[in-house]
Amino acid sequence: MFEKYMDVLWHLIDPWHFMCFSASYLPVTIFNLLITLQFSVLLSPSKLKDAWFARFWGRVGPETRENAIPRVRPLISQARGVVLEIGPGSGEWVNLYDKEKVTKVYGVEPNRDHHELLRRRVKEAGLSDIYEIVPVGVEELGETWVGMGEVDSIVTIQCLCSVPKPKEMINALYGYVKEGGQWIVYEHVVTHHGRFIAAYQALVDIPWPHFLGGCSITRDTEKWLRASGRWSKVDLQQPELEPSYQVIPHVMGILTK
């Protein structure tokens, strides 16, 4: 029983510990910008926040990825045909695609700061001939790259928690999935396990986006995905090893049109 109480306590404290760890990267970010004379970044709160998060995530991102791979690999390996990967960032997941199944991957990443490393990782994964970086937002997709009803697989891995207007984006993306196509999901979501955890999660989510690059942990992404259109099959669930008192829970699985 004592171990259970300690586990609950750790899950309640852990988000604050993680934010403190993020905060520890702010002074060194400011110092680096000063010595490199990047005063325009220092004077812009949004640019400073981006630089701070980039430095922090450069340290913890790889570790976070390794922890998530046992869950994410089986999902991404099911991607097939023409794929829309939303928010690939620096390409943390590109080496998990099954090259025997995918014919084309459009990596929708409007942040050009990520493109150099994304290209490098695409090359390392052996996908240079089929992976195309799309440097625009979802709202501009259909103008040049891919049309409605032409996508076999959409992949969203921990990106819908930080994009602006996620509900509108989800509804727009549904139209790109062809009949029989699929949406592969691994995302942070709002908890549905009791009023206390919900209230506590809402409290954590007040400072959380400022320390974690705009990520919000209280978005009802699963509900929005289910309601985005007519799905023939929905297989979404919280990962087995996440307890009901998880303050930062995920939803994972596949929706089939």
pLDDT for res 17: 95
Distance CA 250, CA 78 (A): 19
Q: How confident is the model at residue 46 (pLDDT cuts 50, 70, 90)?
A: confident
Tally of domains in the chain? 1
Distance CA 223, CA 226 (A): 5
User: pTM score, two decimals?
Assistant: 0.88
Reply yes or no on whether the pLDDT at 54 is more than 90. Answer: no
Amino acid letter at 151?
V
Confirm whether 164 is domain-assigned. Answer: yes
- At 108 the three-state DSSP class reads strand
State the CATH number of the domain containing residue 173: 3.40.50.150
Both tokens of 183, joined, read: 């949406």
Confirm whether 221 is domain-assigned. Answer: yes
pLDDT for res 206: 97
Confirm whether 106 is domain-assigned. Answer: yes
Confirm whether 43 is domain-assigned. Answer: no
Q: For residue 30, what are the contacts with CB-CB under 8 A and spacing of at least 6?
A: 42, 48
Confirm whether 193 is domain-assigned. Answer: yes
Q: How confident is the model at residue 139 (pLDDT cuts 50, 70, 90)?
A: confident
Low-confidence winner among 42-51, 55-64, 122-131 (lowest mean pLDDT): 55-64
208 lies in which domain range? 65-256
Q: Per residue in 90-125, pLDDT tens?
A: 888 999 999 999 999 999 988 777 788 889 999 999
Confirm whether 184 is domain-assigned. Answer: yes
Confirm whether 56 is domain-assigned. Answer: no
Q: Per residue in 230-246, pLDDT tens?
A: 999 999 999 988 888 89
